[in-house]
Amino acid sequence: MKKRIKVLQITHGLGAGGAERLVYELAMRLPKHGFDVKTVAVLEGGPLEKDFTKKGLKLVKMKKRGLLGLGTIADLVCLMKEERPDIVHTHLFLADFWGRIAACRAGVPIVITTEHNVNVEYRVKHHFVNRLLSPLTGAFIAVSGEVKKYLMKKEGVPERKISVILNGIDLKRVKDRGARLFHEPPQIISVGRLFEQKDHETLLRALAKVEKPWSLRIVGTGPLEKFLRDLVEELKIDSKVEWLGFRDDVPKLLSESDVFCFPSRWEGLGLAAIEAAAAGLPIIATDLPALKEVFNKGEVRFVKSGEVDRWAKAISEVLDNPSFALRTAAKTQERIKKQFSIDRMVGEYVELYKRLLSS
């Protein structure tokens, strides 16, 4: 019987972001390709934990131990010596930091990391740590060409070490919005953590300037929730805004909506926008380089980051011409479904793993 390749995935936690979703999808699907996968969450669990449990996926939850997590590194070394993985695959800063050091100390033959973002918020210390750990890393996966540029420029990673693998979505979970007309009032939706990066403030200030009727659902949680709720009251639009918090039925919510707004200040790829496009929603988004890799000219209404008046104008124009917006969305939907399947993404990870194992 052929030996299964052991992969140990290490991530921060099991939150609702695109990085955590990727970890889950790899844990779910790699076993079908001959891999034995165990996932380690170094900062305990999160909303996705129930999905791991439901599917019977191998999961270890840890807590930060000791100054700078030195105890966590020791715990990871012990786990790796016990598991003897062929590959350690890390995700997100602390998991990258602790996981790569532990893998080196445990003598793991192949260590790789996926970079999920362009990390505008990182300070000098973050870049210093990543540059220090780069020689310990056999390969880097960038979720977009823009992230590849970031790794080369900010982290000093040699181009030969970087593979670009675009994230994919589970098309079986997608619920089609269809060609129905907009609701009265039109139902706008925004999906994303309530963090500075996602810039809900610009969206709310823009909507306050839109004269046509509208309603907004905000899906996500985060430290800015109180500030944003206070802002909604200050702008006198609280009757039009619904706060949904964390939801595990986002595909259903998208299918019930009319327009998707994505005002992020920076993104590694923008998986939430891809999922909205797959559902057939018209999209208004910040004109980020990563999103321009995904969407062709004219498929999405792009607006400059943080420019409230331009956001208000873009929203108003989409609401004024829903038929055109829906026709464009239908064409975009067809292409996105072909290009961003989860099977394509997993296949590229499998190919990379096998190539590294044979080199």
Quick: pLDDT tens for 324-342: 999 999 999 999 999 999 9
- Predicted confidence at residue 2, as pLDDT, reads 62
Domains 5-168+342-358 and 187-339 share a fold: yes
187-339: CATH topology: Rossmann fold (3.40.50)
Q: Where is 40: in which H helix or E strand?
A: strand 35-41
197-229 burial code (b ≥16 CB/10 A, e <16): bbbbbbbbbbbbebeeebbbbbbbbeebbeebe
Distance CA(111)–CA(130), nearest Å, equals: 14
Does 132 have pLDDT greater than 80? Answer: yes
The number of C-alpha atoms within 13 Å of 324 and in the hemisphere containing its C-beta is 9
Claim: this prediction has a pTM higher than 0.85? yes
Q: Two tokens at 268?
A: 């590694």
Please give the Cα distance from 112 to 99 (Å, whole number).
10
3-state secondary structure of 257: coil
Question: With 60 as the cut, is the pLDDT of residue 82 above it?
Answer: yes
How do the domains of the chain map onto residue ranges? Answer: 5-168+342-358, 187-339
Reported as a single tens digit per residue, the pLDDT across 14-59 is 988 889 999 999 999 999 999 999 999 999 889 999 999 999 999 9
Give the separation between CA 13 and CA 51, rounded to whole angstroms.
13
Collapsed DSSP state (helix, strand, coil) of residue 262: strand
Question: How far is residue 207's CA from residue 315's CA, in Å, rounded to a whole number?
Answer: 8
Distance of alpha carbon 68 from alpha carbon 241, whole angstroms: 41
Question: Hey, what CATH topology would domain 5-168+342-358 get?
Answer: Rossmann fold (3.40.50)
pLDDT band of residue 3 (cuts 50, 70, 90) is confident
Residue of 93, 26, 17, 91 lying closest to 48 (CA atoms):
17
Separation between Cα atoms, residue 127 and residue 226, nearest integer Å: 31
For 208, the 3-state DSSP assignment is coil
